[in-house]
Amino acid sequence: MSTIETPQSAISFAPPTQWHDHDYHGHVVQFYSEDEFLVDAISRFFGVSLAAGDAAIVLATKTHREGIARKLKERGLDITNGELKGRYFALDAAETLSLFMLDGVPDVVRFRAVIGGVLEQAKAAAGDRTRAAVFGEMVALLWAAGKRDAAIRLEELWNDLAQTHHFSLRCAYPMADFHREEHSAAFRAICEQHSGVIPGESYTSLASEADRLRNITYLQQKAQALETERAERKLIQRSLQCREAELADFLENALEGVEQVGANQKILWANKAVLKLLGYCAEEYVNHNLGDFYVDRNAFDHFWQKLMRGEEIYDFPAQLKCRDGSLRDVLIRSNPVWERGKLVYTRSFVRDVTEQKRVEQALRESEAQLRSAKEELEILVEQRTSALRRLSAHVLSLQDLERRRIARELHDSFGQYLAALKLNIEMLRQAPANQKLWSQSEDLMEQCIIEVRTLSYLLHPPMMEEAGLASAARWYVEGFGQRSGIAVTLEAPDDLERLPDTIEIALFRALQEALTNVHRHSHASAVHIQILHDAEQVIVEIKDNGCGIPQERLCRFNELGTGMGVGLSGMRERIRELCGELMIESNGCGTSLQITIPIAVDVPGLEAI
């Protein structure tokens, strides 16, 4: 292959060979900040190749093509004349790129046809044994357009093409395109696609190795400082994000209503308190005109005019419409946010004063009622006094009824057994050898003993003193089930410790009263009793499957302690004296009665009823 004589001026002006300028098979990437630096580096790259008789292919923007041609001419290589003209190919990067792009991705077949064709032309023009020096900016155009995967793919196609064609390729990317941290991975991927990497001019322009080492050390220190600052910034950002999240949560979940309204009077945002106050969901309230929710449109217009005058509003009274048709009285505090003389939005705090208004109205109404309060109070006192008298009389009546019941029990059972026993004794005096009469008499005496014991146990079970509440309750429940025909189950701990006498008696009397009420009023077929205890309290729970207690009576009893008879009222008072609590729940499926008494309470003066 013949070569042309390179002018002596071109040699004298050529810069020292460096940075892969003699890499005849390399795929090198050049990073740069200033266009002039890139043009100077590429012209030096082409100067070496052209001086050696090789071909040069430029796939660049118009500005860079013209700059490279100017620099080559300054170095004594005029590509517009002579043989150099035949070995120098200047093509527009964007136009060439469009020839092999398919659906936004470089097509391998088209790429080989287009670029391979250009390389074949250069080979034919310069001679079969010559090589081609190629400068391409097509990858940089793809990167700048945001097509990063396509840029990487084009780099791969260049590498594949180098397997069948002899050329030295120089790519170039402006460092300004890699200014963010998220570019790091793609930046590394680009570098990995190349056999060599030329740093930017801040490094390559350094004259000596010592300067470059100092520069590397400086860059390492700067990178470390930036990494530290980045870590600190992330901590600050996380802290700010936490603070913002806390503030957002504070506003969103504040008990007082907060909302933003735009300059067009449309609601931009409202917190949960506003939505809950008015009963709307966010879609029904946000992005709607605020004035549509005011009962008095004139009041809203007055409110808005004050804001448009730049006033800060304190406790503006208004009535707002709720979703269910009701009205809410509110006080509004609001101030506008202005930018460049224009209203951006308003910040408003909405406080519900509906209850306060109601109370104020109630107070006004009560002023008129105070005139008759004395008479009403006297009437109420008289009624309560009368009720207490009736209650006392009822208690006395119950006592009398209990005495009569005991008398009937003594007369109807115990008295009959004694009368029969007396007759047998009379007959035995006449016939002392009659064994049948002796046997009947013994049976009658046993029945008398049983009746006396039963009556005594009902009045005060001796097992209470001997074995405690659990044993007395089991005995009473068993007898109650036999007498009433109601299925009664008792669940009590075997290790229930002895409780103070006042507590055991109170709980036993409550159990008696509860089961008596079940038998008389509930029409239940089953009752379940459970006794629980721990170190602090004892609980007795009684549940039946009866008809329940009417809710009106139950509410009246829970609120006033009346309407349920003397038995439950007495039970309640006895439990309260022991600092305990009586809870009654009832519905159509039965009634639940729960008694809770703290074990530590000791009321020595309380006697059993």
pLDDT exceeds 60 at position 8: no
Minimum mean pLDDT range among 52-61, 430-439, 533-542? 430-439
| Higher pLDDT among residues 576 and 102, named by residue | 102
Confidence of residue 542 (pLDDT cuts 50, 70, 90): very high
Q: What is the mean pLDDT of residues 313-325?
A: 92
Residue with tokens 């299925």: 487
pLDDT exceeds 60 at position 549: yes
Domains and CATH numbers, the chain: 8-205 (3.40.50.300), 257-352 (3.30.450.20), 367-459 (no CATH), 464-598 (3.30.565.10)
Q: How far apart are CA 9 and CA 484, in angstroms?
A: 132
> CA angle 263-268-273, nearest 5°?
130
If phi > 0 it is left, if psi is from -120 to 50 it is alpha, else beta; for residue 197 that is beta
Give me the pLDDT at residue 261, please.
93
Question: Residue 461: CB partners within 8 Å, gap ≥ 6?
Answer: 472, 475, 476, 508
Give me the pLDDT at residue 139, please.
94
> CA angle 472-593-500, nearest 5°?
40
Confidence of residue 606 (pLDDT cuts 50, 70, 90): very low
pLDDT exceeds 80 at position 174: yes
pLDDT exceeds 90 at position 223: no
Give me the pLDDT at residue 150, please.
94
To which H or E segment does residue 338 belong?
strand 327-339
* Direct distance between the N- and C-terminal alpha carbons of the chain, in angstroms, rounded to an integer: 133
Distances (CA, A) of 62 to 17, 94, 137, 281, 396: 26, 10, 11, 60, 119
**Residue 604 in 3-state DSSP?**
coil
Give me the pLDDT at residue 262, please.
92
pLDDT in tens, 423-459: 878 888 888 888 888 888 787 787 777 777 666 666 6
pLDDT in tens, 129-154: 567 899 999 999 999 999 999 999 99
Q: How far apart are CA 159 and CA 167, in angstroms?
A: 11
Beta-carbon count within 10 A of 441 CB: 19
In this structure, the strands spanning 196-198 and 590-598 are unpaired
pLDDT in tens, 85-114: 778 999 999 999 999 999 999 999 999 999
Q: Read off the DSSP letter of residue 413.
A: I
Residues β-bridged to residue 489: 528
Q: What is the mean pLDDT of residues 368-377?
A: 82
Give me the pLDDT at residue 566, please.
65
pLDDT averaged over the chain? 82
| Higher pLDDT among residues 122 and 24, named by residue | 122
Q: How far apart are CA 458 and CA 248, in angstroms?
A: 68
Q: How far apart are CA 382 and CA 445, in angstroms?
A: 55
**Identity at 225, one-letter amino acid code:** A
* pTM given for the model: 0.42
> CA angle 504-528-548, nearest 5°?
105
Give me the pLDDT at residue 396, please.
66
Of 10-19, 228-237, 310-319, 565-574, the range with the highest mean pLDDT is 310-319
pLDDT exceeds 70 at position 461: no
**Residue 488 in 3-state DSSP?**
strand
pLDDT exceeds 90 at position 602: no
Confidence of residue 10 (pLDDT cuts 50, 70, 90): very low
Distances (CA, A) of 485 to 117, 437, 480: 110, 34, 8
pLDDT exceeds 80 at position 189: yes
167: its two tokens: 């050329």
Confidence of residue 19 (pLDDT cuts 50, 70, 90): very low
User: What residue ranges in 27-84 does DSSP mark as E strands?
Assistant: 27-32, 55-60
